Chain A
Amino acid sequence: MGRRRGRRAERRRLSATRPSDGRPPRGRRRPRRATLTAPVFDALSEKLQATLDDVRQRGTLTESDVNAAMREIRLALLEADVNFKVVKSFTNTVKERCLGADVLGQLNPGQQVVGIVHEELVSLLGGESIELEFSPRPPTVILMSGLQGSGKTTAVAKLAKHLKEEKGSSVALAACDVQRPAAVEQLRLVGEQAGATVYDRGTELPAVDVARWALDQAKQDGKDVLIVDTAGRLHVDAELMAELVAIRDAVRPQTVLLTVDAMTGQDAVNVAEQFSAAAGFDGVVMSKLDGDARGGAALSVKAVTGKPILFASTGEKLGDFQVFHPDRMAQRILGM
């Protein structure tokens, strides 16, 4: 809100979204500029442009200018489902940089600020990435975990296909979801499509026993990789989290993966923190990125756990699976 609206409005975080007509908070709309280099940032750039409108005329960038810009950025990130607390610490980082940066000398301060936000997002989303680790003594075991319906079973089959095609690995899958109706049948079908061997015992044995048995089978059959599919579970379900730990301890995976639905909202950090605290995980598969969710969950999960996002799952077909690109994700989160 403009300073004319007084202190009260100024301190409010979300005032800019008050039942509004979608106009920038300054009230004066600048003519649209056609010179933006990154078209996906148009809307945010434009809003920031309006916010930082008279900076260049005044010749000084005050803390209150930066605060106004941060308010827009905060709203954009919240709209993208980035966790509230992550947004807070993120905007603090960006603010420091903006205050230090030579934004004034720039032709377009709004764009400059967006540039800084983008850089910070990329560095936060990316950071140190890891390659899937392969055991010197095969099979390499990969354990898949996540909430109900997040896309684990699909991702297991996609990963099998990916490893088969990219690394020439012989892959087996372990059907350790004995919980959800027809989960075993589903894995059999998608596993077969992926060209992987599926080890299942129906639903006759506890998941941990199936896991142990499948590992023996994979050894006997000389498989390069064993991917273990597990039942969906809630991070607050102590019993099922204990089962996940038991499965992990039974198969000693090289890598534990967490599948996170790109549409997840503010709760993503709870989920990630608690999976991390219970069974731990080494990397994330972001699923359902083929939709139009901005995927702020990715940023949130990365920010609170520090674990890299390894793969993007982008459809229901087994080929819809890519290595994750932090840069694209940053654009997606900011794109308005």
Chain B
Amino acid sequence: TLFDTLDDETWERLEEALIMADVGAKATAEIVGRLETEATTGGMTDPAALQDRLTELLAEAARPTGDATIDLRHGPTVIMVCGVNGTGKTTSIGKLAHTLATQLGQKVVLGAADTFRAAAVEQLQIWGERAGVEVVAAVPGGASDPASVAFEAVRRGREAGADVVIVDTAGRLHTQLPLMEELAKVRRVIEKQLPGAPHEILLTVDSTTGQNGLRQAQEFSQAAPVTGIVLTKLDGSAKGGIAIAIAQELSIPVKLIGIGEALEDLRPFDADDFASALVRPDERDPLAAGPGAP
């Protein structure tokens, strides 16, 4: 473990491990500071106990609200998915639709409100087919802006007696103000169609994302109050530590994780698993042997 020897360097090694996992300097300093204080004042020296306590602290930090569930008791529950380009929105929606339909027997309707990216609609339609759920897209000649498609998807969901409507949106950088305003409009229009909706606004964050992830969560929340994070691509070697910083700073919990490109590769977030993976040394790290020589 990180604590086999307890000396000056222990805390530096720990800081290093958290920084390498993208937890960020601030959240890292907070967590290491707490553990160090507890260890010195409480006289905790047992490596296993320290490791356990660290995992506990990290899990607590990742679990800011205690509740990371998605409430499906609305009729229909409307979930809007947003995020930066390429982070995994459309894929996560496909997987979520599959999970809801096959495991929970929910009737799901998808809304293809990414009307911008080349072949985004076709991509969602393929996912809809795979999951066996209906996809609402702009009809030729009809209104084709994102807000109209979202409105129509929710309308269709109500009409068809769907349990869940999931609305896909175009990827956008949080720095693009007109596009963030467009996102706010999509949300407003959904609310107009169904008061109280959207019930969930999920933000996809790619687990390879560095410190910019915090800005993403901040800015997206400004445009449309984000209720949860989908932490995607955790099947790689990145640990997704920025989720800790997001949870700490903004109290937004991770609700789902993506672990691959297949239908089944979506899981509920488990803070304990996530926390222990964060500080587990990765033997695949090619730099483990020494610093990269520039």
Contacts and interface: CB of A to CB of B under 8 A. Distances in A.
Contacts, number: 195
B57 interface: no
A147 B16 contact: no
Given A13-B12, A81-B212, A86-B294, A261 B236 contact: no
Interface in B253-294: 261, 282, 284-287, 290-294
Contacts of A290: 173, 175
Contacts of B86: 148-151, 261, 288
A323 interface: no
Interface stretch (A53-61, A129-137, A184-192): A184-192
B293 A292 contact: no
Contacts of A17: 25-26, 28-29
A13 B9 CA distance: 10
Size class of A's contact patch? 35 or more
Contacts of B287: 83, 85, 269-270, 273, 304
Contact of A270 (B88, B116, B237): B237
B84 A263 contact: yes
A19 B123 contact: no
Interface in A264-311: 264-271, 273-274, 277, 288, 290-294, 296-297, 300, 302-304
Given A15-B29, A264-B208, A291-B173, A182 B294 contact: no
Contacts of A293: 210-212
Contacts of B211: 78-81, 265, 293-294
A117 to B, nearest CB: 13
Nearest to A231: B261
Interface in A124-179: 124, 147-151, 179
22 contacts: A11-B12, A78-B19, A81-B212, A84-B20, A93-B294, A147-B236, A148-B86, A149-B86, A149-B87, A183-B119, A185-B119, A185-B122, A186-B117, A188-B119, A234-B237, A266-B22, A267-B22, A270-B282, A288-B86, A290-B175, A297-B210, A304-B287
Interface of A: 11-15, 17-19, 75, 78-81, 83-86, 88-90, 93, 124, 147-151, 179-183, 185-186, 188-190, 234-236, 261, 263-271, 273-274, 277, 288, 290-294, 296-297, 300, 302-304, 316
